[in-house]
Amino acid sequence: MRRGHINAGWGFVGPALAAIGAFFIVPVAASLLLSFTDFDVYAVARPDRLRFVGAGNYARLLGEPRFWTALGNTAYFVFVGGPLSVAVSLGAALLLEAKLVRWRGFFRTVFFLPVVTTLVAVAVVWRYLYHPRHGLLNLLLGVVGVHPIDWLGDPRWAMPAIILLAVWKNFGFNMVIFIAGLQSIPERLYEAARMDGASAWQQFRRVTLPMLAPTFVFVAVVTMIGYFQLFAEPYVMTQGGPANRTLSVVLLMYEEGFRWWNMGYGAAVAFVLFAIILGLTAVQLGLRRLQPGTEPIR
């Protein structure tokens, strides 16, 4: 009887497990194996030209300056762009939820619009905005007396330019999540705070922020994971230039794996990135648990 019960269970989850196995577990395992070989164009034609290199790909990767450049650029993007994106999202959400705002739906749609716009189309427009001699951005800066900046061509400015674009493109998504978080905060908490004589800032600091803590964890983790996979913006806007300043880890993986067909090496890049993201996510979740006073009041 008990045995039959278990078998029926397998029958129900079987199809889903098979699909996950075939389309996720097997490819990931194959990819892991791949990362221990030097699979490339030569090996496609003749399997006897495939060598098992052990941790060779990983060792070479860690010894390659280009990888560290890519990792540094990605970290710059994550740790500057990520918090900025979250802050802008929160700011926009607070603005939209303020009591005085009219046409809320209209603004929400406008702010969300960049999220659903094709990046390639956006990139073309932003390339015009960023143009050093004819771009709108430099024209406006010129009015204030700032010298023209070669946004995408100057190694110092290329990454900030990419961050600006990414934040503008993505903040609407987190904004919607923050709005949902804000709307779930009971009005009575604010009433109670006001009765105790709390200022607007105190209400924000003592009521809004703690109540948003779970939302923050979600937004921070998802944003970090997403931002670590920076690819399309530099791929479309700069191809990793100028002077590798916008080369990201995923762009490096794409180049190695799909442009040069060094599948083995590319797979190693992917797994290193996976390990980094996994580690940082664990740290982030751990920090939230350690931090006192962020548990929502029920």
Partner 1 sequence: MSLSRPAPALLLLALAPALVAAPGCRLDRDDAGAVRFWAMGREGEEVQQLLPEFERRHPGVHVRVQAIPWSAAHEKLLTAHVGGAMPDVFQAGNTWLPELVALGALEPLDERLARWSSLDRGDYFPGILDTNVIDGVTYAVPWYVDTRVLFYRTDVLAEAGYAEPPRTWTAWEDAMTRVKERAGPDRYAILLPLREWQPPVILALQRGASLLREGDRYGNFESPPVRAAFDFYLDLFQRSLAPRAGDTALANLYQDFARGYFSLYISGPWNIGEFGRRLPATLANRWTTAPLPAPGDAYPGVSLAGGASLAVSSASGRKDAAWKLVEFLSEPAQQVRFYRLTGDLPARKAAWADENLPRKPHAHAFWIQLQSVQSTPKIPEWERIAAKISQYSEAAIRGDLTIDQALAGLDRDVDNVLEKRRWLMRGAGR
Is 57 among the residues that bind partner 1 (CB under 8 A)? Answer: no
Q: What are phi and psi of 37, to 5 degrees?
A: -120, 175
Task: Specify the stretch interacting with partner 1 by CB under 8 A; choose among 9-17, 186-194, 199-207, 258-266.
Answer: 258-266
User: In terms of CB distance, is 45 or 100 closer to partner 1?
Assistant: 45
Render 44-65 in DSSP notation, one character per residue: HH-GGG--B-TTHHHHHHHT-H
Is 129 among the residues that bind partner 1 (CB under 8 A)? Answer: no
Judged by CB under 8 A, the residue of 71, 166, 167, 220 near partner 1 is 166
Judged by CB under 8 A, the residue of 130, 159, 167, 220 near partner 1 is 130
Binding mask 190-229 for partner 1 (x = CB under 8 A): --------------------------------xx-xxx-x
Judged by CB under 8 A, the residue of 128, 186, 279, 287 near partner 1 is 128
Judged by CB under 8 A, the residue of 261, 276, 280, 284 near partner 1 is 261
Is 31 among the residues that bind partner 1 (CB under 8 A)? Answer: yes
Least distance from partner 1 to the Cβ atom of residue 123, Å: 11
Is 257 among the residues that bind partner 1 (CB under 8 A)? Answer: yes
Judged by CB under 8 A, the residue of 258, 286, 291, 295 near partner 1 is 258
Helix (H, G, I), strand (E, B) or coil at 90: helix
CA–CA dist 273, 248 (Å, integer): 11
Judged by CB under 8 A, the residue of 18, 44, 62, 113 near partner 1 is 44
Residue 230 and residue 209 in contact, taking contact as beta carbons nearer than 8 Å: no
Count of residues near partner 1 by CB under 8 A: 71
Judged by CB under 8 A, the residue of 164, 193, 211, 250 near partner 1 is 250
Applying the rule CB under 8 A, the residues between 79 and 98 that interact with partner 1 are none
Least distance from partner 1 to the Cβ atom of residue 253, Å: 7
Is 58 among the residues that bind partner 1 (CB under 8 A)? Answer: no
